[in-house]
Amino acid sequence: MQEGGGDGARIAGEIGPESGKWRFTDLLIFGMRLFCNLGKIFCMYKLAAIFFFVFVIAGTSRLKAQAQPTLKGTAWKFYVDALHDSLTMHIGTADTSFTTSSAGEVVIRYLCKLQKDTLRILDIGGEYYCPDGEGVYRISIEGDYMSFFLISDPCNNRADVLNGIKVRKTTESK
In this prediction, residue 71 carries a pLDDT of 82
CB 117 within 8 A of CB 139: yes
CB 101 within 8 A of CB 82: no
In this prediction, residue 12 carries a pLDDT of 47
pLDDT single digits (tens) 52-104:
766 667 665 554 544 456 788 899 999 999 889 999 999 988 778 999 999 99
pLDDT mean across residues, the chain: 77
In this prediction, residue 61 carries a pLDDT of 55
pLDDT single digits (tens) 128-169:
888 899 999 999 999 999 999 999 999 999 999 999 999 999
Q: Which amino acid is residue 127, in one-letter code?
A: E
Q: Characterise 66 by phi-psi region: left (phi > 0), alpha (psi -120 to 50), beta (else).
A: alpha
Q: Is the pLDDT reported for residue 35 higher than 60?
A: no
> d(Cα 161, Cα 115) in Å, to the nearest integer?
21
Task: Say whether pTM exceeds 0.75.
Answer: no
| pLDDT top residue among 50 and 47 | 50
The C-alpha angle with vertex 68 and arms to 162 and 86, in degrees rounded to 5, equals 30
